[in-house]
């Protein structure tokens, strides 16, 4: 679905209650992202793209202070963002074998999460439960959203948009995913993703990157694999 990396740019994010909110996410380094399963994952280290900062400034009427990967948001340093050995083991939480049944593919990336990202992760997990794709489906969904939007519910980026892609999964109205209002509704977007995933034959037996790519049809099919470990940590802690 994606033909360039404008989807990595931060933008005005939308909240589940349909009111616009402003959030800044990090921009990944563009070099080396079209990598195979054994390549080194690109670090997420730089600040937001100047075009996205300008859009936020225009919307807020003030300059945006940017520091690291987040601005004006509480960054959560917990089992969601640290190593998997930091995730607390509790009763009724899915096991690592259930979450990552085929093992990790290649080097892994990890980013800190703020409250908006965690809320979106919870929406994806809720949709996974309601659509019946379970814990493994939730891992695939969250890893896909981490790749596509860094778990931010992105609105239209204007000149920086990847065609008409929007939302947590950067779904496109012109490709039949729904209206802009629908695909920027986290519940709708997640259920649309999981509905398509369920139509992929044998998706539970596929590596994460193959399952995600079959739904997303990305120009960079191996990019999803780098988020599997963090996605599993998120699902294990929030399930």
Residue 53 has pLDDT above 50, yes or no: no
**Each residue of 15-40: pLDDT tens digit?**
544 333 323 333 232 222 222 222 33
Q: What is the mean pLDDT of the chain?
A: 73
Task: Provide the residue ranges of all domains of the chain, joining segments of one domain with +.
Answer: 6-238
H helices within 61-114, ranges in order? 96-99
- pLDDT for the residue numbered 163: 78
Residue 128 has pLDDT above 90, yes or no: yes
**Each residue of 102-121: pLDDT tens digit?**
999 999 999 999 999 999 99
Q: In which residue are the tokens 């992105």 written?
A: 154
- pLDDT for the residue numbered 198: 97
Least confident interval from 52-66, 180-194, 214-228: 52-66
- What average pLDDT does the segment 118-144 reach? 98
Confidence of residue 80 (pLDDT cuts 50, 70, 90): low
* CB-count exposure of residue 92 (10 Å: 0-12, 13-18, 19+): exposed
List Cβ<8 Å contacts ≥24 apart for 48-53: 48/9, 48/10, 48/24, 49/9, 49/10, 49/160, 51/9, 51/157, 51/158, 51/159, 51/160, 52/9, 52/10, 52/11, 52/24, 52/27, 52/157, 52/160, 53/10, 53/24
Residue 181 has pLDDT above 70, yes or no: yes
């Amino acid at each position: 679905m994606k033909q360039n990396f404008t989807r990595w740019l931060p933008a005005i994010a939308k909240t589940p209650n349909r009111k616009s909110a402003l959030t800044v996410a990090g921009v990944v380094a563009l070099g080396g992202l079209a990598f195979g399963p054994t390549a080194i994952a690109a670090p997420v280290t730089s600040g937001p793209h100047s075009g996205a900062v300008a859009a936020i400034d225009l919307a807020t009427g003030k300059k945006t202070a940017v520091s690291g990967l987040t601005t004006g948001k509480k960054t959560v340093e917990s089992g969601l963002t640290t190593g998997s050995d930091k995730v607390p083991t509790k009763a009724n939480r899915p096991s690592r074998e259930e979450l990552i049944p085929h093992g990790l593919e290649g080097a892994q990336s990890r980013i800190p999460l703020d409250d908006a990202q965690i809320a979106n992760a919870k929406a994806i997990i809720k949709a996974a439960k309601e659509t019946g794709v379970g814990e493994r489906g939730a891992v695939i969904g969250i890893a896909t959203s981490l790749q596509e939007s860094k778990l931010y519910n992105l609105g239209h980026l204007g000149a920086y948009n990847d065609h008409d892609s929007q939302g947590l999964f950067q779904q496109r109205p012109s490709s039949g995913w729904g209206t802009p209002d629908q695909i920027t509704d986290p519940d709708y977007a997640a259920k649309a993703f999981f509905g398509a995933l369920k139509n992929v034959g044998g998706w539970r037996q596929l590596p994460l990157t193959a399952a995600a790519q079959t739904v997303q049809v990305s120009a960079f099919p191996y990019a999803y694999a780098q988020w599997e470990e963090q996605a599993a940590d998120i699902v294990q802690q929030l399930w």
